[in-house]
Structure 1
Amino acid sequence: MNDFLTNDINIEIIKYIQTFSNSFLDKFAEGITMMGEQYFFIMIIAIIFWCVDKKFGYRLGFTLISSMVINGAIKEILKVPRIFGTEGIRSLRINTATGYSFPSGHTQGVATFWMSIISNVKKKYIYFLGSIIVILVAVSRIYLGVHRPIDVIGGIVISLIWVLVCNIIFNYLDNGGNKLILFSIIVPMLIGLFMFKTHDYYTISGVTLGFFVGYNIESQYIKFNEKTSMIINIFKFLVGVSIVLIIMKGLKLVFPKYLLFDFIRYCIIGIWMTSGAPYLFKKIGFA
């Protein structure tokens, strides 16, 4: 399997794409690839959940973060090595290229995000915009020398399948289905904690569990109103995201450096985004 995923044609394609390299394209690719990173997703999901449509924000957020759990599991199972150090290939922005190579996490994340939006919003301009961004991020990962073409293709295919699965699940829930169906995702994810002992898997699993727990708390007990004025929405975003960063960075300084505490820290972030922040907004009269 690994021979297929690391064959020479992948290397030759990367080398060909990198023949077009220049300083402008380097910066452009680095900027584009940031749209597949966690801070971008946190900000966009926060805006949608807190300020636009919390029901869709939850569907989008849960689909995205559970997709990344799958990405982390597949990486740990297949253990496809990165191409760093391959003769004739230069690799840029490698600090954000963590773990194994297949499938591409950036590509799978951005493809899951936009395909979920496309399949639910169903507007032609969204379809066009999302498709262009997915293609650009995928190509940027190859151009930057951090992924093979097969890595980004794998990420896109997995995201397509997962968005379809999650749409079926959430459509079922929207029609009055039993919420326990989400345990079919949560339970295997938690079992994976005993198998895939990496920082990436523990953090994304923590967010997923926190998102699940927090949204159930919010939908039963808080029931905040996300549709408010532009000024209030800006305030909600600034306060909410600031506290996300405080939890992310502050607790990292306080907690011991063990995977379990990485899991707990990101679980708190998920709970804050889905119930803590909504509770605060409602309490101060902004929701």
Structure 2
Amino acid sequence: MNINYFEHIQAPILLFFQSIRNPILNLLFLFFTISTETPVVVIFTAIMYWCIDKKIGRRMLYALTGNIALNGAIKDYFKVERPIGKFGLESMRVETATGYSFPSGHTQTATTFWTSLAVQLKKKWVYVLAAVMAIGAGISRLYLAVHWPMDVVAGLILGFLFTILLIKIMDRSEKSGKYWEMILILVPLAIMAFVLKSSDYTKLFALMFGFTIGYILEREYVSFEVIDRKNMSNGEIIKKNGKRFLIGMLSLGVVYLGLKLVFSLFGAADGSTLDMVLDFVRYSAVVIQGVAGAPYLFKKMGI
């Protein structure tokens, strides 16, 4: 997608943010942008799902994996270039600004994360915090000059709307005990994988596919529960949840690295069809382990 015609309209906004940079604002907007990056989001959602509130956690995971897949599909389809290096812009934290520009992944992730949390907790202060964090993440991408304004607006809108849709789908699935809607929504995203033939998008779609399979397996065969806090001291709760988190994260590492080692024996070239298939299997397996495999270990180990 060629947006050169629109770049000169949006560039003054980025140049304005660049003109007001100072050490305090740098720290503030770096905080907003870092808070939406993969390690932070993965750790928090894992703790929520495994240790605090299973229902809230799995809706957050479903919304996140779905939005990540959608964001990747749109990026690879439109192929909008980032503003980095244009109009005299001095972009910051460019090492995390990979891939195409439209829509903003950080903004969409932040909107997804906070929307999914707010609509479930239904507390006024959470709604306010969610708005501040989502908008703050979006503005941070402009302040750092790694996205166009239209990228941020799209990320906010898509993150909010798709999150609401996915949570409604999961609500209906839990009430009916059927999964056809969750499976059906995978179809257009799977078609995009064949159309785009993108290695990056294949990995992102694998996350949502893996969550859907893991969710079904967990509901049908595992049915774990978070630790019952009744009659337990705070120390005991922290100890048990600490074990859960440690074992869960270690199991994810074993699956990821183990499959990477095994698949390396196939000698697939980067970007080849075989390489994309193996990546799809590996990333799907990691999410399945997180959603169903790790909880199965918790039950077997009595933690």
TM-score normalised by the chain length of structure 1? 0.92
Aligned-pair CA distance for 1:111 = 0.2
Q: Deviations over 1:113-137 (max 9, x none)?
A: 1111111211112112111111211
Cα distance between partner residues in 1 of 2:133 and 2:89: 24
Deviation at 1:24, TM superposition (A): 4.2
- Matched with 1:159 is 159
| Equivalent residue number for residue 87 of structure 1 | 87
Q: CA deviation at 1:4?
A: 8.1
Partner of 2:287: 270
Contact 2:110-2:137 within 8 A present in 1 as well: yes
Match of 2:244 in 1: 236
Aligned counterparts of 2:137 and 2:263: Cα–Cα separation in 1: 34
**In structure 2, distance between residues paired with 1:41 and 1:136:** 16
Q: State the alpha-carbon separation in 2 of the partners of residues 113 and 4 from structure 1.
A: 32
2:171 and 2:295 map into 1 onto residues whose CA distance is: 24
Paired residues for 1:1-287 under 5 Å: 2-3=2-3, 6-176=6-176, 178-228=178-228, 229-248=237-256, 251-252=259-260, 255-256=263-264, 257=270, 258-286=275-303
- Residue type at the aligned position of 2:106: H
Structure 1 SS opposite 2:194: coil
Distance across 2 between alignment mates of 1:63 and 1:5 = 34
Once the two structures are aligned, what percentage of the paired residues are identical?
37
After superposition, give the CA deviation of every residue in 1:67-113 in whole Å (9 maximum; x if it has no partner). 11111111122221111110320112222212211110110011011
2: CA distance between counterparts of 1:107 and 1:52? 25
1:51·1:233 contact (CA, 8 Å) conserved in 2?
yes
Letter in 2 for 1:14: L
Q: For 1:255 and 1:145, locate their aligned partners in 2 and report how far apart those are by CA, in whole Å.
A: 38
* 1:12-54 deviation line (CA, Å, top 9, x unaligned): 0000011112344334433321222221221111111111222
Q: What is the deviation of 1:188?
A: 2.0
Distance 1:140 1:230, change over 3 A: same
Distance 1:265 1:252 in 2: 7
**Contact kept in structure 1, 2:255 and 2:289, CA below 8 Å:** no
Structure 1 portions without partners, runs of 5+: none
Q: 1:113 to 1:18 in 2, by over 3 A?
A: same
Whole-angstrom CA distance in 1 between matches of 2:187 and 2:205: 11
Letter in 2 for 1:160: F
Distance 1:86 1:240, change over 3 A: same
Cα distance in 2 between the residues matched to 1:69 and 1:127:
25
Instruction: State the alpha-carbon separation in 2 of the partners of residues 160 and 152 from structure 1.
Output: 12
SS in 2 for 1:42: helix
The number of aligned residues is 286
Shift of 1:204: 1.7
**RMSD, aligned α-carbons:** 2.0
Structure 1 or 2, whichever has the larger Rg, is: 2
Superposition deviation, residue 278 in structure 1:
0.5
CA distance in 2, matches of 1:268, 1:71: 21
Structure 2 unaligned segments of length 5 or more: list them: 229-236, 265-269
Matched-pair contact (CA < 8 Å) for 2:3–2:80: no
- Which is further off, 254-263 or 144-153? 254-263
Give SS of 1:224's match: coil
Normalising to structure 2: TM-score of the pair? 0.87
Residue 232 of structure 2: aligned partner: none
Letter in 2 for 1:156: L
Give the 3 Å change call, closer, same or farther, for CA 218–82 of structure 1 in structure 2.
Answer: same
Q: Is this contact kept in 2: 1:206–1:264, CA < 8 A? A: yes
Structure 2 residue identity aligned to 1:204: L
Distance in 2, Cα, partners of 1:6 & 1:202: 30
* Cα distance in 1 for residues equivalent to 2:4 and 2:107: 20
| CA spacing shift, 1:232–1:177, aligned 2, 3 Å | closer
